[in-house]
Amino acid sequence: MTALTIRTATVADADAMAAIYAHYVLHSVATFDTVPPDPATWAAKVRDGELPFRVGEVDGAIAGFAYLSPYRPKAAYRHTAEDTVYVAPQFLGRGYGRLLLTDVLECAAGTDLRQLIAVIADGGDGASERLHAALGFTVVGRLTAVGCKFDRWIDTVLMQRDVPR
Ligand SMILES: CC(C)(COP(=O)(O)OP(=O)(O)OC[C@H]1O[C@@H](n2cnc3c(N)ncnc32)[C@H](O)[C@@H]1OP(=O)(O)O)[C@@H](O)C(=O)NCCC(=O)NCCS
């Protein structure tokens, strides 16, 4: 299997990230977006974000990405971030999601973050919950029927772990 090379994202990755994310917007409940954001939105996220934003490449193709974003905007939440990880459908099941999430955890260790939260839609294949559990996240809560997509009410599961030190 070809190795995944993980590096910091740049605005040049925006088209690829938009395409990966659009797949999950249109075909899954993994995200509660219903309209895919355009590449300019992704470029702005990369340019303006102050927390780690990483992409994984295989033979020059972007296979997935993972990043951290502020959990909430209010100042006292500044040591807490939410993680996001997406792998392109053609690259699923090869261990890349685990590598990307592991990498972003390692990046978090170099910041002043203390807690990481994953907000996971319950209604897909369970991959994200299992991946996060494998990397030390535990379930800390469930928000019931907070999403409505494809005519279904969807819960979110909240998972949390300390930033590794
Ligand atoms: C979650 C996601 C990133 C996993 O990516 P992946 O590269 O396929 O995952 P990996 O191959 O690294 O597998 C890691 C672990 O995830 C779990 N997993 C992966 N695919 C799974 C599936 N289809 N069903 C159940 N668990 C699965 C397993 O626990 C697996 O560990 P194991 O192989 O030791 O059993 C990917 O499914 C994805 O992009 N999903 C859509 C977006 C999403 O839900 N993102 C998370 C929101 S924050």
**pLDDT tens digit at each of 165 positions of the chain:** 679 999 999 999 999 999 999 999 999 999 999 999 999 999 999 999 999 999 999 999 999 999 999 999 999 999 999 999 999 999 999 999 999 999 999 999 999 999 999 999 998 889 999 999 999 999 999 999 999 999 999 999 999 999 998
pLDDT score for 124: 82
Q: Which amino acid is at 7?
A: R
Cβ(65) – ligand 1 distance below 6 Å: no
Q: Which of 122, 125, 126 is nearest to 158 (CA)?
A: 122
Pairing of strands 115-122, 138-149: unpaired
Give the ligand 1 atom nearest the CA of 118.
Answer: 48
User: How does DSSP classify residue 8?
Assistant: E
The tokens describing 25, both together, are: 């917007």
Q: Which of 144, 121, 151 is nearest to 29 (CA)?
A: 121
pLDDT score for 156: 98
Residue 2 CA to residue 59 CA, distance in Å, equals: 8
Residue 12 CA to residue 124 CA, distance in Å, equals: 30
Residue 39 CA to residue 33 CA, distance in Å, equals: 15
CB-count exposure of residue 133 (10 Å: 0-12, 13-18, 19+):
middle
Cα–ligand 1 centroid distance for 28 (angstroms)? 14
Cβ(136) – ligand 1 distance below 6 Å: no
Pairing of strands 80-87, 53-58: unpaired
- In the block, which residue shows the tokens 């997406």? 86
pLDDT score for 128: 98
Residue closest via CA to ligand 1's atom 23 equals 127
pLDDT score for 96: 98
Residue 158 near residue 141 (C-beta atoms within 8 A): yes
Bridge partners of 83, per DSSP, are: 68
pLDDT score for 24: 98
Residue 17 CA to residue 134 CA, distance in Å, equals: 25
Cβ(96) – ligand 1 distance below 6 Å: yes
Pairing of strands 115-122, 80-87: parallel
